[in-house]
Amino acid sequence: MRSYLHRWAEAAGAQLLVVDPDQERQDLSDAMAGRGVHVTWVHSTTDALVAFGRTDPHAVVVAPTAHGIPAEEFVTTIRRHGSPYVIAAVDGVAGESAGSLLVAGASTWVSRPYRAGDLWELLVATPGALEEHAHVTVGPLELDAAAYRVSVAGERQPDLPLKEFELLRALMLRAPEVVSDDELRVALWGPSEESRVSGSTIAMHVTRLRARLEGAAEIRRVRGRGYSLTTEG
């Protein structure tokens, strides 16, 4: 699995928080990243509360055996703060352990060990969660992260290279505000590569994106601050 898929899923995809005392499975993270879902795996409900606030996940998978505060109390707490979807993790078929989590606020259950296909089916069934996150619209521009598609006034455009796609989404999410060079470095290259990317590299990708948009939007450089995207109307 190429690292950029994980970075793309983390920066632009849906967020899935898994709370499970077992060892994190890289194959599951890889498979979900390929579907545009970034997996954050923690072993305790205490760590999960921190991760929940940091990642604002679209769905949370909770194993009843997770360490920390009782899993039922954890589910009740995050549901109180508007978690969109809680999935109870069970061994084999759903039983008493899943029942207590369902009473606490979980919406459904999934068998352990987790399979990417099973989790994906549950996520796409989540009412509106992935769709709302994947679509960004600014004026005539529409970007669909799940389908990797950009449209202008309803007409699909040729597929953008990954970097230009990531750049466009980062700018659209904040439009018409200014996005700093540092914020773009993290969105496009990740925090580990942030210090290695020069301003001229960002400018090069901005120039290429401007040419591909062909006037559908204006990307303006604000000296000393960053870039902003605006559209007419």
**99 and 8 in one domain?**
yes
pLDDT of residue 208: 96
**148 and 91 in one domain?**
no
- The contacts of residue 180 (CB under 8 Å, 6+ apart) are 225, 226
The gap between the terminal CA atoms of the chain, to the nearest Å, is 42
Of 89, 107, 127, which residue constitutes the final position of a domain? 127
Q: Which CATH number fits the domain that encloses residue 179?
A: 1.10.10.10
Of 127, 160, 176, which residue constitutes the final position of a domain? 127
Q: Which CATH number fits the domain that encloses residue 8?
A: 3.40.50.2300
What is the tally of structural domains in the chain?
A: 2
Phi-psi sector, 36: left (phi>0), alpha (psi -120 to 50), beta: left
Low-confidence ranges of the chain (pLDDT < 70): 1-13, 34-36, 83-84, 92-97, 126-134, 146, 190-195, 233
**141 and 115 in one domain?**
no
Of 59, 93, 127, which residue constitutes the final position of a domain? 127
Q: Considering Cα of 157, then 167, then 138, then 35, what sign does the dihedral take?
A: positive
The domain in which residue 101 lies consists of 3-127
